Amino acid sequence: MKLYYAPGACSLAVHIVLEWIGAPYEAQAVKPRSPELLKVNPSGAVPALDTGEGWILTQAAAILRYLARLHPQARLAGGESPREQAEIDRWLSFFTGDLHPAFFPVFVAQRYTTATDDASLKAVREAGLALVRTRFAIMETHLQGRTYFVGDARSILDAYAFPMVRWGQATLPGGLTHFPAIRAHHEALAREEGVRRALAAEGIG
């Protein structure tokens, strides 16, 4: 398998899971919308995974689901019962549909206004940060008293949360000060060997 990633992007979640699984893989850094990436993913976004079987899989949640199913011995699927799987799907949808998009106005404010002046762009970023805080508050409540996102073992959800919490730590005023449960979860993951290897490989350790 070969992962196409951008350092620190949501593709970091897939990078972490590949380390947790322990199967051989390659990882190649690419720039979003670069000609190299467009060849494997017409949307020009990371992550993209060459499965080694003649087809490319895109979208972080789909890739994470695929890897968990492909390597059940890694026990990253979050359980087998319908309820456990529904919880995985619920949080994957939350990350993809609610949390991740909340960061877009923060990182690319110019996409969300026709204005070009600094004050307008700052207002867009502030609106994005307000959304991030709202989403983080939901996560904070969920993670209180928990070591992992679901159940009693790490799953693809823990890996998926990691890059986005990292973004929040870097962009929110005060970082994770107001989110102690999220901070504890994130710091525990940051000490995990597979996470550290993925961070080092991306040059962002």
Q: Given a cut of 80, is residue 56 above it in pLDDT?
A: yes
pLDDT of residue 205: 76
What is d(CA 109, CA 126) in angstroms, rounded to the nearest whole number? 10
Name the class of domain 2-75+197-202.
Answer: alpha beta
Q: Would you state the pLDDT for residue 18?
A: 98
Query: Residue type at 183?
Result: R
CA distances from 42 to 26, 82, 93 (A): 21, 34, 22
pLDDT band at 81 (very low <50, low <70, confident <90, very high): very high
Q: Percent helix, strand and coil across the chain, each rounded to 5?
A: 60, 5, 35
Question: Structure pTM?
Answer: 0.96
Pick the CATH number of 82-192 from 1.20.120.1630, 1.25.40.420, 3.40.50.970, 1.20.1050.10: 1.20.1050.10
